[in-house]
Amino acid sequence: MYPFVRLAHSLIKARRLPKMSPLEPHVSYHRCWPQDCDIFMEMNNGRILTLYELGRFQAAVRMGLWALLKERKWGLTVAGTSIRYRRRILPFEKYETRTRIATWDERFVYIEQGMFKRNGECASHALFRTAVVEKNRAVPTEKLIAALGITDPRPAPAAWVANWIAAKATRPWPPMQAAEEVTPIYPAS
């Protein structure tokens, strides 16, 4: 189940934090609760993606994006994710989530996030390809950047981020499969 109570708490907390520039990193602090864990008693990989969302929402509040979304009736969407898991987060363990805009292009804003244990080890690291949407269409990034008042140049992406963006551009959508590769789950009668 989606952690709505946790989301509300995160948004209230973010409103009390100082405003930040959209290009500043945001750090949020969390604890792994038993409901975040899987049968191996570690934070579940699916829950990690959900908890990263809380960090992005907090950053959105602090940079003024949240108010802009409400004002213009815009929404947020994730259009792609790349994640690397390296260390377990155990029940009741405290960790911090670091969120920053890595770069953007004409259509997407790329957000880098990491979960760090108290000893400084990175437990997981993700890159999200995100968009602001209006009436089921992506808002051009140029319009979003202007609305946020960003006048700094677009951050140059790290080599691995640029490589991921380039690789995503070569991926066909919708995915194609040759008919002989597909085994029907329910054979025709």
pTM: 0.90
Using the predicted structure, report yes or no on whether residue 179 has a pLDDT greater than 60.
no
- CATH classification of the domain holding 132: 3.10.129.10
Residue 84: beta bridge partners? 125
Give the separation between CA 187 and CA 189, rounded to whole angstroms. 6
Structural domain includes residue 162: yes
Structural domain includes residue 89: yes
Q: Where are the alpha helices (DSSP H) in 17-121?
A: 45-63, 65-72
Structural domain includes residue 71: yes
Please name the helix (run of DSSP H) or strand (run of DSSP E) that holds residue 43, with its range, or none. Answer: none
Structural domain includes residue 180: no
Structural domain includes residue 92: yes
> What tens digit of pLDDT does each residue of 71-129 get?
999 999 999 999 999 999 999 999 999 999 999 999 999 999 999 999 999 999 999 99
Number of structural domains the chain divides into: 1
Cis peptide before 174 (omega within 30 of 0): yes
Query: Higher pLDDT residue, 179 or 131?
Result: 131
DSSP state of 164: H
65: helix, strand or coil: helix
Tokens of 167: 């690789």
pLDDT-wise least confident of 1-5, 55-59, 134-138, 179-183: 179-183
Q: Return the pLDDT at 177.
A: 67
Tell me the residue range of the domain where 65 lies: 4-171
Structural domain includes residue 182: no
Average pLDDT over residues 43-49: 97
